[in-house]
Amino acid sequence: MKQIKNKFLKYIKFDTQSNPESNTIPSTVKQFELAKELQTELEQLELKNIKLTDKCYLYATLPANTDKEVPTIGFIAHLDTSPDTTAENVNPQIIENYNGKDIILNEEDEVVLSPVDFPELKKYIGQDLVTTDGKTLLGADDKAGIAAIMTALEYLINNPEIKHGTVKIAFTPDEEIGRGADHFDLDFFNADFAYTIDGGKTGELEYENFNAASLNVTVKGRNVHPGTAKNQMINSINVAHEFHAMFPNIKRPEHTEGYEGFYHLTDITGKIDETKMSYIIRDHDEKKFEEMKEHANHVADLLNKSHHKELITIEIKDSYYNMREKIEPVMHIVETAKQAMIDAGIKPIIKPIRGGTDGSRLSYMGLPCPNIFTGGHNFHGKYEFIPVKSMEKAAEVIVNIAKIVHDE
């Protein structure tokens, strides 16, 4: 398990940032570089059925070392990192025996990782942390998941007295831009159930996630010289403001938590004659989710009627759904993960994901797939950090799951 830090430090050196503007599969060719490195490592471990597809999905099989008939389990992590912050030239810092004080990430830019801003740091006093240098993200999402899976595989191979059934592995591209399950080969993977290793702090175990949709809004205007604009000009920016104002303030991400849903304005660009806005809509409850989408339609209709013109057009597209519906019939797989954590000395933290994972899509495709922690914090930005011990525990939980499934 102690090798996990070195694996993680190697993987984060690969720039695998995905690109939502790209139409290629994968969205960035550079994701193949990490996939090829992992393919080589899997070959060195002598795993079977290793396949790297032309769409950058990497699969492998650890054969059973027992004659007992047990379910085939899978573990999945994603290759890409978020487009939100650069992943080029990641330069990690190792903070040994953290003292509970401010960590200067970048003195020149005055970037400080402080327990005042991030109180969870206090939980890791005395532990070794991996942080950024204040210029890039770290990449623990999800290279910590990859490192945990690879470390667990190596551990199982080197400790054959631990009996286990067939274990399937998959590393996927483009999870961060919502495409990670698009070309996942369920038939080739051929597992009874799986776990994404893609969560946050130690102990997180998630089998509920948001229902999600995108909302794209186009507002048309009419540009007239402001000196003669009375009763002539239609400023699309102002109409866009009217539209946005009709969504309740309390249903914004910054005012919600737990099971509370939100409308999130992610982008707005405009001039007088046209403004475009992009939103994401999220809620765990299916009924509330549908009501939120209907509200967006109602607002557009209301404003078009009030302006006596079809100024606003909207497009709503569902992205993914709450996997709880698909996990509840097989809740034993959640209980297995809980027990694996308890056996590792970890208190399970079962909570809804305020987001989505490949596991959500895969669950609806027929592969039940809860989500397990990696140990990372502050994903997608320069304040990202991960305790080394948390990564070790993630790998231990994977090993424990394989043991429990065999012994049940």
Q: What angle do CA 291, 180, 370 make, to 5 degrees?
A: 70
The secondary structure of 150-177 as a DSSP string is HHHHHHHHH-TTS----EEEEEES-GGG
What is the number of residues in the chain? 408
Residue 128 bears catalytic tag: no
CA-CA distances (angstroms) from residue 142 to 152, 192, 197, 232, 259?
16, 23, 8, 53, 24
219 in Cβ contact with 243 (< 8 Å): yes
Looking at 15, 80, 198, 208, which residue is catalytic? Answer: 80
Paired residues of 267 in beta bridges = 278
Short-list 82, 24, 117, CA closest to 381: 82
Looking at 15, 154, 174, 175, which residue is catalytic? Answer: 175
Report how far residue 31's alpha carbon sits from residue 57's, in angstroms, rounded to the nearest whole number.
Answer: 10
Name every residue whose Cβ is closer than 8 Å to that of residue 128 and which is 6 or more positions away in sequence.
Answer: 5, 94, 95, 96, 97, 98, 387, 388, 389
Residue 46 bears catalytic tag: no
290 phi-psi bin (left φ>0, alpha ψ -120 to 50, beta other): alpha
Which amino acids are annotated catalytic?
A: 80, 175
